[in-house]
Amino acid sequence: MQQTHEVIGSPPNVAVPTHFAKVVLTTKPSSPSTPNISEVSTGAFVLPNAPIPDGAPLKSFVVPGECPSPVVDLGRK
């Protein structure tokens, strides 16, 4: 599969990505009685590199957290 991207620069040789991925990792103590044991939560999102309406729900950009790269096809085969 071949992808084409807008390019910028002079000469034009810098590809502008169409999307970008963000992975969020948070921790908190699992309980007050075990403050040294953390509960971990993650979230993964792929967003277009374009204006996003203020009212767009964040859930519409959620992707499986295992690895967002196959979703955006970063060319890894």
Whole-angstrom distance, CA of residue 68 vs CA of residue 24: 12
Q: Is the pTM of this model over 0.85?
A: no
Is position 42 within any domain?
Answer: yes
Q: Quick check: is 28 in a domain?
A: yes
pLDDT mean values, one per 10 residues, the chain (77 residues): 77 88 88 87 90 94 70 47
Query: 């993964």: which residue's tokens?
Result: 44
Tell me which residue range forms the domain holding 32: 18-51
47 inside domain: yes
Tell me, what's the pLDDT at 23?
86
34 DSSP β-pair partners:
31
pLDDT of residue 35: 83
Q: Which tokens hold the place of 5?
A: 């991207």
In a domain, residue 27? The reply is yes
Q: Is residue 32 part of a domain?
A: yes
Instruction: Decide if 4 is inside a domain.
Output: no
What is the per-residue pLDDT for 26? 92
